[in-house]
């Protein structure tokens, strides 16, 4: 037989299939738990599969978690996280790479719910949903209160009893929902949206009684947290006991340690209000009496004044004041008239001195030629017709001779 006939030649696929069958037939590799640190983590969002490597100080193994198992995780795996994985070891034939096919995963040293809680808390905190500045004040005197909780639990009975006792004038709008299980969070989100859309309340109480972390897990739902943050109506979160904290508590406008405390925080106490009203009534009455006494004393003082006892006295006083003012006005007017007379006389004297008629009265005359005053004899010639103005009239004349050396005419 030839050498070729003695050899058994296998394809790569056959070899990988054979190795895969060996791995999957091992009882030790069929169902095992592996502790390691996640590295090279990839969330394949289209398929929903998770790809990663698990490593310790000396070695590394590839791992994959298919969608049907990944969807059950309560937390989000991350690179650097130490986890405990359950699965089987097999071979991925295409790459010839053996890997761990993970069916369960939980954080090492902490519960999956605790890790998921911290992851979501940090995420929403980073996005600002816990900021105090965005939280709305709770109205002091609400007319309507919406209560989102189970209609069969002890929490709703406690809330209704306390609201009726403390502030019976408020109307209660009960929104019954599941508070535990897969449908709880979607129902509470829908209730929040309906209350806001219908504007049927001034404040909302959302919560339930105590329980385990699993029981309260619906209040750690991200969609519910965002619905609480988006509510235009102030929300009071009241989940579990005083030591229980949920994501809903951090996002709400006010956190109450218990459902009963939420009812007390939502409304004022009618007994306290009545006491305050009585105290205010007493204080107001005391102030009114004090004001009445003070005003009465002031009135008596005014009545003792002479103008109140004898009104004519006040009229006489006013008449006297008017007479005095008239005398001052008359004296001031006369003084002004005298100043005007003196000024007039002075100006009249100045005008009289400048009047040319005054000069004519002393025997002088004004000679004009063709309407122009003749001031020099040289300006006249024999035969010129002139007018001579005297103080009592005007005469015409004709020059008969030439002036002598310019000074006679």
d(CA 399, CA 409): 7
pLDDT in the model for residue 307:
67
- For 194, phi then psi, to 5°, come to -65, -40
Give the count of beta carbons closer than 10 Å to the beta carbon of residue 206. 29
Where are the chain's structural domains?
A: 6-109, 142-268, 360-398
100-133 confidence digits (pLDDT tens)? 999 988 887 656 777 888 888 888 999 999 999 9
Instruction: Return contacts of 371-378, CB within 8 angstroms, 24+ apart.
Output: 376/406, 377/403, 377/406, 377/407, 377/408, 377/409, 378/403, 378/406
- Give the residue-averaged pLDDT of 166-185: 93
- Give the residue-averaged pLDDT of 167-191: 94
Query: Do the domains spanning 6-109 and 142-268 agree at the CATH topology level?
Result: no
Whether pLDDT at 408 is above 60:
no
CATH class in words for 142-268 = alpha beta
Q: Which CATH number fits domain 6-109: 3.40.50.1000, 3.40.47.10, 2.40.50.140, 2.60.40.1180?
A: 2.40.50.140
Taking the whole predicted model, whether its pTM rises above 0.85 is answered as: no
Q: Which two tokens stand for residue 88?
A: 């089987």
Whose CA is closest to 244, among 266, 221, 212, 222? 212
């Amino acid at each position: 037989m030839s050498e070729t006939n003695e050899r058994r030649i296998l394809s790569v696929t056959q070899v990988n299939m054979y190795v895969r069958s060996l791995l999957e037939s091992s009882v030790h590799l069929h169902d095992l738990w592996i502790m390691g640190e996640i590295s090279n983590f990839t969330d394949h969002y289209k398929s929903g599969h998770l790809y990663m490597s698990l490593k310790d100080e000396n070695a590394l193994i590839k791992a994959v978690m298919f969608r049907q198992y990944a969807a059950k995780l309560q937390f989000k795996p991350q690179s650097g996280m130490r986890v405990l994985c359950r699965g089987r070891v097999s071979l991925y034939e295409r790459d010839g790479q053996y890997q761990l096919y993970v069916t369960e995963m939980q954080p090492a040293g902490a519960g999956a719910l605790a890790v998921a809680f911290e992851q979501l808390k940090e995420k929403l905190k980073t996005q600002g949903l816990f900021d105090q500045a965005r939280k709305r004040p709770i109205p002091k005197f609400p007319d309507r209160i919406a209560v989102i909780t189970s209609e069969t639990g002890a929490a709703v009975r406690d809330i209704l009893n306390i609201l009726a006792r403390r502030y019976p004038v408020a109307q209660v709008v009960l929104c019954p929902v599941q508070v535990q299980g897969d449908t709880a969070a979607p129902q509470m989100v829908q209730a929040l949206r309906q209350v806001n859309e219908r504007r049927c309340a001034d404040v909302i109480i959302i919560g339930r009684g105590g329980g385990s972390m699993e029981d309260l897990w619906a209040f750690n739902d991200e969609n519910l947290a965002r619905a609480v943050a988006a509510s235009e109506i102030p929300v009071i979160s009241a989940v579990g006991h005083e030591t229980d904290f949920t994501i809903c508590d951090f996002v709400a406008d006010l956190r109450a340690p218990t459902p009963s405390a939420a009812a007390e925080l939502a409304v004022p106490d009618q007994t306290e209000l009545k006491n305050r009203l009585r105290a205010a009534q007493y204080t107001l009455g005391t102030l009114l009496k004090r004001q009445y006494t003070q005003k009465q004393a002031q009135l008596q003082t005014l009545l003792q004044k002479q103008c109140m006892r004898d009104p004519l006295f006040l009229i006489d006083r006013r008449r006297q004041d008017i007479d005095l003012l008239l005398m001052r006005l008359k004296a001031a007017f006369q003084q002004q008239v005298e100043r005007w007379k003196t000024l007039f006389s002075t100006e009249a004297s100045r005008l009289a001195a400048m009047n040319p008629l005054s000069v004519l009265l002393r025997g002088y005359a004004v000679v004009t030629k063709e309407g122009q005053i003749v001031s020099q004899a040289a300006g006249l010639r024999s035969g010129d017709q002139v007018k001579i103005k005297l103080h009592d009239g005007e005469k015409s004349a004709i020059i008969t001779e030439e002036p002598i050396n310019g000074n006679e005419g």
